């Protein structure tokens, strides 16, 4: 185990060493990482606790600065520096922020404008949404159900995801209503906030794990007492963070729509299974908004 730890430490050390190089700027040597490599390079590192950014063009390295004046206002020298280096009125440096994502976008755009063969990956977040409707059956595995009776469920879901740099991840808001049946006189309406991870992801098919993180439930139940056969009706409202685990599959059927299959409520971190393995299965339809 000690040898493995030493090997991992050496790998990390060598990886860090190869990912940055020494550059001399105005007589001072810095170890800098290359963020963008093209007609103009973007170099950076954290030096003495501060983010420092540099650009290299025509073998000349210039630091991008944003110092304060005597009255405390930022002078934004980096904007004029970028404008002079690019000299392109179609690329507006005035909107650039002195942050790694903003500088990356600006310099990639410049490199693409001067080199038709320059290719880069767009790192802007592109938030998209899907609306889904589904229906199925459930045996309410976290509710007392001695006969393991199943009943119908209906639901709707709004899914939010980034279609660019975090395609495998999504957040969803789900509304589910479980109907009462003769065999199980229990119904509930649940609002849930959850997280989804697509561990298999292709253009036409993905399989994902679902975690219901927070739920707000409104339930009604009818219980018949053994003595006298009297029935007791109960209503309850509960707010929980149950972390309920489930699985799902999305199958693309057109450019904007999917057939989806859920197998939910397999287990939960803070809810006890009442003795019945989950039979929470639903089939639905999703479409891009």
In a domain, 35, yes or no: yes
240 CB-side CA count, 13 A = 15
Predicted local confidence at residue 226, as pLDDT: 63
**Residue 87, domain member (yes or no):** yes
Q: Are residues 148 and 279 in the same domain?
A: yes
Q: Are residues 109 and 175 in the same domain?
A: no
* Listed residue (144, 238, 119) closest to 189, CA to CA: 238
Q: Please indicate, yes or no, whether residues 136 and 180 belong to a single structural domain of this protein.
A: yes
Q: Any residues with CB less than 8 A from the CB of 129 and at least 6 apart, and which? A: 158, 159, 160, 161, 288, 289
- Decide if 159 is inside a domain: yes
Rounded to whole angstroms, what are the CA distances from 225 to 211, 222, 228, 240, 248? 36, 10, 7, 28, 39
Let me know whether 57 and 194 are in one domain. no
For residue 257, the tally of other CB atoms under 10 A from its CB is: 15
Query: Looking at the chain, how many residues does it have?
Result: 289
Q: Which tokens go with 287?
A: 């479409």
Last residue of a domain, one of 114, 148, 165: 114
Indicate if 94 and 137 belong to the same structural domain: no
Boundary of a domain, candidates 70, 86, 114: 114
Does 91 map to a domain? yes
Does residue 153 sit in the same domain as residue 280? yes
Per-residue DSSP letters for 148-177?
A: ---EEEEEEEEEEEESSS-TTEEEEEEEEE
Q: Which residues contact 274 (CB under 8 A, 6 or more apart)?
A: 141, 142, 143, 144, 145
Query: Does residue 149 share a domain with residue 90?
Result: no
Residue 1 lies in a domain: no
Question: Domain range spanning residue 221?
Answer: 127-288
| Residue 122: per-residue pLDDT | 63
Kindly state whether residue 120 falls inside one of the protein's structural domains.
Answer: no
Which of the listed residues 114, 136, 155 is the one where a domain comes to its end?
114
Q: 196: domain CATH number?
A: 2.40.160.20
Query: Is position 248 within any domain?
Result: yes
Query: Quick one: 171 and 65 in the same domain?
Result: no
What pLDDT was estimated at residue 91?
Answer: 77
Do residues 195 and 170 lie in contact, with contact meaning Cβ atoms separated by under 8 Å?
Answer: yes
Together in a domain, 139 and 213: yes
95 near 79, Cβ under 8 Å?
no
Q: Are residues 67 and 164 in the same domain?
A: no
| Same structural domain, 96 and 137 | no
Residue 223 within a domain: yes
Domain count, the chain: 2
Same domain, 206 and 98: no
pLDDT along the chain (289 residues), means of 10: 43 46 88 90 91 93 92 91 84 85 89 86 75 96 91 96 80 96 90 95 92 95 69 88 96 94 94 91 96
């Amino acid at each position: 185990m000690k040898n493995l730890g030493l090997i991992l430490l050496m790998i990390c050390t060598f990886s860090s060493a190869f990912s940055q190089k020494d550059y001399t700027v105005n007589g001072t040597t810095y170890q800098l990482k290359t963020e963008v490599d093209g007609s103009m390079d973007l170099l950076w590192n954290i030096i003495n606790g501060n983010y420092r950014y540099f650009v290299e063009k025509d073998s000349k390295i210039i630091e991008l600065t944003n110092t304060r004046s005597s009255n405390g206002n930022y002078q934004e020298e980096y904007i004029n520096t970028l404008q002079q280096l690019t000299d392109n009125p179609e690329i507006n440096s005035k909107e650039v922020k002195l942050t790694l994502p903003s500088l990356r976008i600006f310099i990639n755009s410049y490199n693409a404008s001067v080199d038709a063969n320059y290719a880069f990956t767009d790192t802007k977040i592109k938030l998209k949404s899907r609306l889904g409707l589904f229906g199925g059956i459930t045996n309410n595995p976290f509710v007392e159900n001695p006969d393991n009776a199943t009943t119908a469920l209906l639901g709707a879901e709004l899914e939010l995801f980034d279609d660019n740099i975090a395609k495998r991840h999504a957040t969803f808001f789900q509304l589910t209503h479980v109907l009462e049946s003769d065999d199980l006189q229990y119904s509930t309406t649940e609002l849930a906030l959850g997280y989804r991870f697509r561990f298999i992801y292709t253009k036409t098919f993905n399989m994902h794990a679902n975690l219901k993180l927070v739920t707000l439930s409104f339930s009604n139940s009818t219980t018949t007492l053994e003595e006298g056969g009297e029935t007791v009706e109960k209503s309850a409202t509960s707010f929980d963070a149950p972390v309920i685990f489930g699985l799902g599959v999305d199958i693309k059927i057109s450019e904007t729509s999917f057939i989806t299959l859920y197998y939910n409520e397999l287990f939960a971190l803070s809810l006890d299974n009442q003795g019945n393995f989950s039979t929470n299965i639903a089939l639905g339809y999703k479409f891009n908004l």
